[in-house]
Amino acid sequence: MRTRLLPLLSVLLTASTVQLATSASAQSPVLRVSSFGDALIGVSASEAVTLRSGFWYVAQSAAAGGANAPPAPAEIISPPDGTEFVLDDLDPDAPLTVSWTEGTDPDGDALAYRWQLAASADFATLLLDEDAGSDTEITTTLAAILAAVGDVPAGDTTEAWHRVVTSDGSASSTDAARLALVRLGDVAAEADGPAALALHAPRPNPFGARTTLAYDLPAPGSVRLAVLDVLGREVAVVVEVDRPAGRHATALDAAALPAGVYVVSLEAGGARLTRTVTRLR
C-alpha cells in the first residue's frame, strides 16, 4: 500500500529528480523519484514511518532532457549603438562587417546566430534577416542596407535598428543597436523655393559624436551656423559661407565637445534662429 504526501510538496517538484531524506546530506535518501505526473509523490507505509520520524530534507536536480534554459545573448561589437553613417563620404559597395560577442548557453548547447535589420526598435517588420550559423560576424554593404531601408533624401537622416538573435535550437535572446543613415549635401531648391528662413530640428538629438543640421534659405546669401554653450559662449563654427536658395544640410562633428546641452545658432539674411541640442558621452 502506498500513501500520498500532502500537496504542500508540489511547489518543490519542478526538477526532473526529487529526493526525500532524513539527513541534510541526502546521501541515503528514503525516497527518490525521477518522474511524476501530478506533482504528488506516492510513498509506502514503511517510507512514511521513516519520514515521520523527523525533519524532511529535499534535494532536487535536473536530468538530461529537462527544461531548456535560454542562452545568454550575444552583444553587438560593430557597428555599435548610435553609429552614424554619412553616406556622402562612404562607398556604398565597400564591405561592412557586422560583429558580435559569443553567446553562452547554461546547458552547454551549440549556438547559432542570425543578424536582423528593422525600421523600428520593436522589430515588427524585418528588412534583412541573415543566417550567420555559428560565426560571430557577417559581411554586408551599405548598398544592401539602403536597398532594404530605402533611399535617404539629401539633408535627411533615416534610422534603422540591428540585432543578433542567439539560438540554441529552442530558445533565443536578442541585443539591439540603433544606426543612423545620414545624407548631407545641398538640396535643390523647390519650384517656388522655401518661403522663409528655417532651422530644422537636428537629427538625431540627443546625439553621440555627430548630428545633422538642416536649414532653409528663401534667398541666396551668407550663412553662419555656430554652436554655443549654455552661457552663450561660441564653442564651434560649423558653416560660414555663401549659399544659394533652397534647403541645405551639414554635419555637426562634436567629438571635441564635452557632453552637455548646446545651442545651435543660424544667422542669415539679417535674422537669427536657434535650436537646442544635447551631446551624449
Q: Of 261, 243, 264, whose CA–CA distance to 252 is shortest?
A: 264
Q: What is the CATH number of domain 189-279?
A: 2.60.40.1930
Q: Of 30, 28, 24, 33, whose CA–CA distance to 57 is shortest?
A: 24
pTM: 0.53
Give pLDDT tens digits along the chain (281 positions). Answer: 444 443 334 334 444 455 555 555 545 555 555 544 444 555 566 666 665 555 555 555 554 556 788 899 899 999 988 787 878 767 889 899 999 999 999 988 999 999 999 998 889 989 999 999 999 999 999 999 999 999 887 777 788 999 999 999 877 877 788 888 877 665 554 556 688 999 988 888 888 888 888 888 999 999 999 999 999 999 999 989 888 888 888 888 888 899 999 999 999 999 999 999 999 87
Output the nine-digit C-alpha cell for 239.
558653416
Cβ neighbors of 12 (< 8 A, separation 6 or more) are 18, 58, 60
pLDDT at residue number 212 = 83
End-to-end Cα distance, the chain = 72
Output the nine-digit C-alpha cell for 64.
538530461
Phi, psi of 154, deg, nearest 5? -60, 135
Question: Looking at domain 76-183, which of 3.50.50.60, 3.40.50.2000, 3.40.50.10490, 2.60.40.10 is its CATH number?
Answer: 2.60.40.10
